[in-house]
Structure 1
């Protein structure tokens, strides 16, 4: 019997390069499904994947032997390659932004974060990705530089 227990749930957020709005509504469900598939393949548990035209949100549980930066690398790298191969005319020059946000989520907040990700369409009627991301950084007490957010 194992004597180690863990609940390592993260809300991961990353954007397209220069926050280009290139993730069309037609493409989004396929991308969310592809990202969830990568997560499963890499032994992560995807609870919810979503986003909007210029960014992705992923609520995932990580195994204890997988650090967050490696999880992000595994999600962004193959998905970028898949986007290039699947949509060569529309997304031939596609890139993800280099950075990302990773925020720990307590079990009591998983449902709230899940709903937040599912309601991106409604949320982004009034808020840009940059405004949303700054709110996350400030809520979590993370210092940030404007040039990294506003370009």
Structure 2
């Protein structure tokens, strides 16, 4: 086979450090766009970036040239540095150390896009910890509660 063909849809989720509520307008949409730009630079086209006051959801195509760990590290490093320049109140903005990344069936992409679009409405009923635990359960991820939230 002479050609490498890859189609990996990845749903990435991570929160601000200690799940602090730091992501608000007017910087929320700018942050989402900035993260989309970082992904594009790494040849990981974004389908949608969204989230809530204390976390981010990214649905993108994982490039055949970039390791997932590298993608997430670069998104966090660049976006954290960028957002700190936006306002003095964001000088102590940091992302949590870990992340969740879940493969998405191509037939489920529109469901995930809709889910990410409706984060503000969704989080009127469920906090980030409940949401994240639900993902871990859905994707049958073995985890230790003591280490998930550090």
TM-score normalized by the length of structure 1 = 0.94
Contact 1:49 1:56 in 2 (8 A): yes
Pairing 1:2-151 to 2, within 5 Å after superposition: 2-87=2-87, 89-150=88-149
Q: CA deviation at 1:135?
A: 0.2
Q: What is the SS of the residue equivalent to 1:113?
A: helix
Contact 2:18 2:149 in 1 (8 A): no
Q: CA deviation at 1:90?
A: 1.1
C-alpha distance in 1, partners of 2:90/2:2?
46
Q: What is the SS of the residue equivalent to 2:74?
A: helix
Q: What is the SS of the residue equivalent to 2:94?
A: coil
Which runs of 5 or more structure 1 residues have no equivalent in the other structure? none
Deviates most, 18-27 or 50-59: 18-27
TM-score normalized by the length of structure 2 = 0.95
Contact 2:42 2:66 in 1 (8 A): no
What per-residue deviation string (whole Å, max 9, x for no partner) do you get for residues 5-56 of structure 1? 1111100000000000111132210100110111111111000000000000
C-alpha distance in 2, partners of 1:26/1:61?
27
Q: CA deviation at 1:76?
A: 0.5
Contact 1:25 1:53 in 2 (8 A): no
Q: What is the SS of the residue equivalent to 1:86?
A: coil
Q: CA deviation at 1:2?
A: 4.9
Q: CA deviation at 1:150?
A: 4.8
The CA RMSD over aligned residues, in Å, is 1.4
C-alpha distance in 2, partners of 1:43/1:150?
30
Alignment: residue pair count: 150
Which runs of 5 or more structure 2 residues have no equivalent in the other structure? none
